Amino acid sequence: MPDNVIIRAKDVQKTYNTGKVVVQALRGLDLEVKQGEMVAIMGPSGCGKTTLLNTLSGLDAIDEGVIEIDGRNLAKMSDKERTAYRAANMGFVFQFYNLLPVLTAVENVEMPLLLDYSSRIKAKEARKLAGEALTAVGLPDQGDQRPTELSGGQQQRVTIARALVNKPAIVWADEPTGDLDSKTSQEIMDLMRRLNRENGQTFVIVTHSLEIGEQCDRIVWMKDGLVVGEPQPQPTAVPANGHVNGHSSDHSKSATLVPDLQAISNN
């Protein structure tokens, strides 16, 4: 794609209707993320961050608007195509994508490779790649341990190894350091940052931690189902250089745009 934008969301609207209440979780959201960027999504609880990740990644459908991943509209794919596209191109570090307790660490990590039918990867090769991924996240000797035999930080590292094992173009992380102490959080952040730099993979990380957010290339602040605090494309024309910062962006710049939100997000 000429402008290097890998994630493009335009006027995205998403409503949940539980039968009793109707919640407008995304209200016409616009977002662009460049390939290789590491972006933090921040904002108060309930503002739509998880909904955004679920819809951008095609796990959940939207009501209005357009989402393009690497120029492709996932909504136009069949369920099967979309699942295959996700397996080949996306990694997930989600809390509900927990590790399977009955499987060892290496078995958990190799799962995406075995589920990606398009790759036709052999079991032996999958095992080898999973072992390498565990080594990359600093767990070379823990492959045979089950999740319950690992610390919280180690479990999260296994989740990251699993998200990265097939070298996906995009990694979605929803509060990847949420349950971890600050030292372990920093280790996980360092790990993601290193993988982002070494492999050029795009990271979209939802976090409540400003410390984590400030280590990303850019913070996208959300409130009430919209992006706030950074320039929005005009309804009629998207500026050529949009609101996307480059890799060497000054973290403090985006962080000081909406100081009032920082306080809220520190809960």
9 to 38, contacts with ligand ATP by CB under 6 A?
16, 18, 23, 25
User: Does 50 engage in binding with ligand ATP (CB under 6 A)?
Assistant: yes
Which residue among 5, 51, 56, 154 contacts ligand ATP (CB under 6 A)?
Answer: 51
Task: Compute the least distance from the CB of residue 48 to Mg ion, in Å.
Answer: 8
Which residue among 36, 48, 147, 153 contacts ligand ATP (CB under 6 A)?
Answer: 48
CB-based contacts of 265, cutoff 8 Å, min separation 6: 42, 43, 44, 208, 210, 213, 221
Instruction: Output 47 or 195, the one with its CB closest to ligand ATP.
Output: 47
The packing angle between helices 152-164 and 182-199, to 10°, is 20
User: Taking CB within 5 to 8 Å according to partner kind, which of Mg ion, ligand ATP, none is near residue 256?
Assistant: none
Task: Compute the least distance from the CB of residue 122 to ligand ATP, in Å.
Answer: 38
Ranked by CB distance to Mg ion, the top (closest) residue is 50
DSSP one-letter code for 7: E
User: Does 254 engage in binding with ligand ATP (CB under 6 A)?
Assistant: no
DSSP one-letter code for 202: E
Which residue among 29, 36, 42, 49 contacts ligand ATP (CB under 6 A)?
Answer: 49
User: Does 191 engage in binding with ligand ATP (CB under 6 A)?
Assistant: no
Selected range binding ligand ATP among 47-55, 120-128, 162-170, 252-260, rule: CB under 6 A: 47-55
Contact 65, 11 (CB under 8 A): yes
32 to 61, contacts with Mg ion by CB under 5 A?
50
Selected range binding ligand ATP among 4-12, 44-52, 87-95, 181-189, rule: CB under 6 A: 44-52
Helix, strand, or coil here: 223?
strand
Instruction: Output 25 or 191, the one with its CB closest to ligand ATP.
Output: 25
User: Taking CB within 5 to 8 Å according to partner kind, which of ligand ATP, Mg ion, none is near residue 16?
Assistant: ligand ATP
Token representation of residue 72: 């492709």
81 to 120, contacts with ligand ATP by CB under 6 A?
none
Instruction: Output 25 or 255, the one with its CB closest to Mg ion.
Output: 25
Token representation of residue 246: 């480059």
Q: How would you classify the pairing of strands 202-206 and 38-42?
A: parallel
Contact 23, 46 (CB under 8 A): no
Closest CA to 162 of 200, 116, 108: 108
Contact 203, 39 (CB under 8 A): yes
User: Which DSSP string do the residues of 124-179 spell out, in sequence order?
Assistant: HHHHHHHHHHHHHTT-TT-TT--GGGS-HHHHHHHHHHHHHTT--SEEEEESTTTT
Task: Compute the least distance from the CB of residue 131 to ligand ATP, in Å.
Answer: 33
Residues that bind Mg ion (CB under 5 A): 50
Residues that bind ligand ATP (CB under 6 A): 16, 18, 23, 25, 45-51
